[in-house]
Structure 1
């Protein structure tokens, strides 16, 4: 494998090194690279102010540059949260054991881009090293842009990239997906529970979390961990751009670098499917339980069985079968990313494009039988992937959350607070998962936090609800949270007539099942624990993407207006429109998991009766007694509090004393000032009298 061959008549400073750092110029190998540049030109990008309504957009950039014989404006939008704040990187130590590190990796410098006025143009650029680096796709032409080294004028080189294979080289993708009958996919699409065409469906972004692995053979081509991390991130950024039009976000979950020894042998003599199967078993036992992910990609330095990629067909979300390998040694970074995206398509159940499959302004699409510089998904792939996304989805709907194996409680400048992982945020009542303070909170750390939580312990729950899992909310409070102040719970007729139907606007939740998800109707006894209905709504707030507010008239003794909130099951908040656990649903009965349950069946280990109705239970299931009652049972007189926190501080008396001092100090000061003023006047008059008397004596 030799250095990057560039057919360019320009000076030596314009030799274009390979973006893929693993193709080192230090080593010489027998195989030439499978790509080349056919032309290059120097451009000077000029930054264009990017404003909307006169306001500067901080996450968007625009540059004007002249290439291809005309001036273009490229618009760039920042990609957010493409990788964890601290990316886990596993390497091998001297003893061959895996060790976990968190190296610094630039995050906020990767962009989605397009050319203004050029339909179908797609670009993936980054500014991590200064200047513009990346790839630009215009129709069937692929350009690489990078800064010109040693230039003081912000000059860049734009080069046209083409692939070239050796004669007789087997480049056609061979996967089990080819054996899948295309007609069966059409049947599955027809069976999906939708009335309209796939392009009319409501789309929801999914999240694909990938575990990347670099084999030792690839690592040894250039044993620089920083370069490997950088290029894996760039590949993931390109894949993220490719799958963005089908509403799929692609994230890096974890990176493994086999720098000492391959845990699974990826040799040229081993068939691809055998190596992938063994790798799936290895990562299930060694990594999956510690850091869960949706699929795995292994980058190799050699073909396996004369194949450059292989993926377990439709193995996404499976701990064993969510795996694939991609050979990228001889290829340009962009082609390596396209082949990886092709393999990911097979792993998600996509078959090769056939007759009738086409994509916008491209001759060949991503799932063409021969993978190449193809970055756009065809109409056939789009229909299949949307069908799968809206059917059984065991992992892609899960949000991309930080890991629990790193202390993520790090407050940034734009955050009001940071509660850490999703699990930690669930138990933090002061800080929301959006890193904003909850309603009524002024901090989430320090002494004041303890006083706030003390107030929560001694605040009684609603008269028509019980506290379950830290939540104390009845239907009136929930309606006010959704629609605003003075909104009330809906009429019983709304619950009795709508929640028995089992559609989007009246149900007891959503059943996820193979073949699609569907709302299910409430049983007669559980209608008050299903979808929430409110009344007296005068203002409809903004519910965000893929949410619906409904106003339904129900005829009972009189006409009732039933306002409801529906969030699609594919969103992160599918239960906002359902009655919360703990709300009353009948005499002595409360809602629990969409079922109306008698209080005795809730099996509380600590309740008001345990505290003799003179206290409430804290999170440790101990009584927190009111003032003047002694823990642990609040039967005897005392100072209040619990056996966990002790008596609460006597805030009431201290505040009263402080107010008393403040109110008495003001008139005292006024009197002192008045007395001093009178004394000064008297002293001045006395002094003037003495002066006059002395002057009279001298005369």
Structure 2
């Protein structure tokens, strides 16, 4: 046992039965599916076939099916590739013969892409140190060491998936010259490693947990890890010895010890169940891939108190494979038509990710049939009353960036445009609860949003809900009334119905851990007083909304866009509206030229009519002329004599 901050920290150890244990792991290497092949003897009689499934049409870049033929049978393996596994620019630290620390960022074959957003998802950032003993086992070959670490952590990532925990590998250090701590005893190795990593490793490789991999014989003990210490940097560590080349065994050992870091104690077989004979936190090695109900309980109890697990790595922190043929336009490519099959049907782009000779473009809103659309062609129509149109300029395949009305511009219902939305409480209620719903009485806002719970608040911190002050209560969660229908909501969404005096209040919840957009928060830009609007859950004066453009600056002939530039109607030219023109703004692209006068259009219509239409018209005209012109009589009419 070890002491930390006056509380007792348990040390979990992982044991093995000397007589049999290693053979229990039968080669369940299957679903780790690494980027490098397994070490071992195998024979494959033919290349695997890539199969198509009915769902591949929708998510072809995420799912694959492989048909493998061996043992006289066909086997189909379905694979959903990952994203959140390897850190971008993953550092590997080594030492020279003179003990100088070197940093390298090696090329890593990446077959791991993002699985999708998950409710209550946690993220575990892992740093790894490779002891000198394991480095020597791989014949002092950095590449082989890196390969094993990637394989092992890939397996850990798969085993942790059941916890809805995403494992992100942040970096590793290889002790290429010598072991930098004493590792003869596993218990002292754990303590020594935890002290050592605080001296610089946790700055070089920021992490939630750090583990050291060794190649030592510690008898029946395969690993040690402090219990419940994830995010507590002085003790968020573990040590594992990797006894064989069996990747599954190594991943299993590391998962077991990281489970201790995540708060899991050893399973009691009498009360801890997982649907198998033994579970991952069983004290001895077991051939299983499942966590027990006890492990889940320990994990969830600790997870909600360890805020580092809530932090999602941004897309810029993740490794992305860059290559021609992945249907993604990347740096150095003019286009990317994808596979050989798709490129054969693409007349604009070639297999080497360059444009076909004589072609202007291969994609984009302003590209049609491999050519730029003419100047003035609309490429992005107006979405709502707070939006503005954009047009092609005739020299680029890209549509100009989306522009819209300046924040604070008045819109329907007495509201204001903000971030391209006309924010109106009645409209928001209708979007959630149907066309009959409307904004509730102010008493609902005051009663609900000052509670500071998931049904009424002015925001969420890492651990709690923020109560609204009375002055900000209209900027918390939307409250509605006159609800005639219960809408179909997404998972993990709860509706509430409350009555205060004679006022009925309807709303939705939003709680910690949800990653989906919140439909029930009062949107920024919504009115909360005669001259006030909601900004970041606070009711502030309208004058605080930054605006450097005004209708007067646009000579009252246009409106201001979100870039603080004037957007004019079709009679005036930007930027200052001083001369007649087409309209638009410096950001929108050139609008189409004004239409020609109607009389010119009529006069020029006939020459452009097709022959099949022109000939019948001429015949009809001659026919009418023939019968409508009065004919002369053969004899002149005799004059009528005057009456007497």
Indicate the TM-score class for this superposition, using the shorter chain for normalisation.
0.5 to 0.7
2:565 corresponds to 1:624: yes
Contact persistence 2:227–2:260 (CA under 8 A): yes
Distance in 1 (alpha carbons) for counterparts of 2:237 and 2:299: 18
Contact persistence 2:415–2:526 (CA under 8 A): yes
The within-5 A match list for 1:307-318 is 308-318=222-232
**Match for 2:310 among 393, 397, 415?**
397
Match of 2:80 in 1: 78
SS in 1 for 2:472: helix
Contact persistence 1:268–1:303 (CA under 8 A): no
- Post-superposition CA distance 1:361-407 (Å, at most 9, x none): 54443333445545432332221112223x32312233343334878
Match of 1:282 in 2: 200
Q: CA shift at 1:47, angstroms? A: 9.6
Distance in 2 (alpha carbons) for counterparts of 1:48 and 1:416: 24
Query: TM-score normalised to the size of structure 1?
Result: 0.58
Match of 1:529 in 2: 475
Match of 1:297 in 2: 211
SS in 2 for 1:101: coil
Match of 2:510 in 1: 567
Q: CA shift at 1:495, angstroms? A: 2.4
2:491 corresponds to 1:545: yes
Distance in 1 (alpha carbons) for counterparts of 2:425 and 2:323: 36
Mark the CA change 1:500 to 1:91 in structure 2 (over 3 Å): closer, same or farther.
closer
Contact persistence 1:22–1:329 (CA under 8 A): no
SS in 2 for 1:208: strand
Contact persistence 1:22–1:221 (CA under 8 A): no
Match of 1:586 in 2: 529
2:446 corresponds to 1:505: no
Radius of gyration: which is bigger?
A: 2
2:151 corresponds to 1:234: yes
Match of 2:607 in 1: 668
Query: TM-score normalised to the size of structure 2?
Result: 0.62
- Post-superposition CA distance 1:511-552 (Å, at most 9, x none): 544xxx4x454332222111113457677665433223x262
Contact persistence 1:508–1:521 (CA under 8 A): yes
Distance in 2 (alpha carbons) for counterparts of 1:475 and 1:72: 59
Match of 1:243 in 2: 160
Match of 1:183 in 2: none
Contact persistence 2:172–2:205 (CA under 8 A): no
Mark the CA change 1:416 to 1:363 in structure 2 (over 3 Å): closer, same or farther.
same
Contact persistence 1:509–1:520 (CA under 8 A): yes
- Post-superposition CA distance 1:76-124 (Å, at most 9, x none): 45243252496735354977420223422333799xxxxxxxxxxxxxx
Distance in 1 (alpha carbons) for counterparts of 2:420 and 2:598: 35
Contact persistence 1:493–1:554 (CA under 8 A): no
SS in 2 for 1:98: strand
2:100 corresponds to 1:100: no
Distance in 1 (alpha carbons) for counterparts of 2:590 and 2:469: 49
2:400 corresponds to 1:451: yes
Q: CA shift at 1:278, angstroms? A: 1.0
Distance in 1 (alpha carbons) for counterparts of 2:327 and 2:487: 25
- Post-superposition CA distance 1:605-631 (Å, at most 9, x none): 747599699654755xxx423436987
Distance in 1 (alpha carbons) for counterparts of 2:530 and 2:70: 75
Q: CA shift at 1:303, angstroms? A: 6.0
Mark the CA change 1:213 to 1:556 in structure 2 (over 3 Å): closer, same or farther.
same
The answer for unaligned runs of 5 or more in structure 1 is 9-18, 26-36, 111-201, 419-429, 432-436, 681-699
The within-5 A match list for 1:65-464 is 76-84=78-86, 88-92=90-94, 96-107=101-112, 204-222=120-138, 223-224=140-141, 227-249=144-166, 251-258=167-174, 260-261=176-177, 264-265=180-181, 267-268=183-184, 271-288=189-206, 293-302=207-216, 308-330=222-244, 332-354=246-268, 356-371=270-285, 373=287, 375-389=289-303, 391-404=304-317, 451-455=400-404, 460=409, 462=411, 464=414
- Post-superposition CA distance 1:552-582 (Å, at most 9, x none): 264666x6563x3323321114744211223
Match of 1:198 in 2: none
Count of paired positions? 520
CA RMSD of aligned residues (A): 5.8
**Match for 1:596 among 530, 533, 539?**
539
Mark the CA change 1:224 to 1:51 in structure 2 (over 3 Å): closer, same or farther.
same
Mark the CA change 1:447 to 1:529 in structure 2 (over 3 Å): closer, same or farther.
farther
Distance in 2 (alpha carbons) for counterparts of 1:409 and 1:481: 41
The answer for unaligned runs of 5 or more in structure 2 is 1-19, 24-33, 332-363, 366-379, 384-388, 620-644
SS in 2 for 1:399: coil
Contact persistence 2:403–2:561 (CA under 8 A): no
Q: CA shift at 1:344, angstroms? A: 0.6
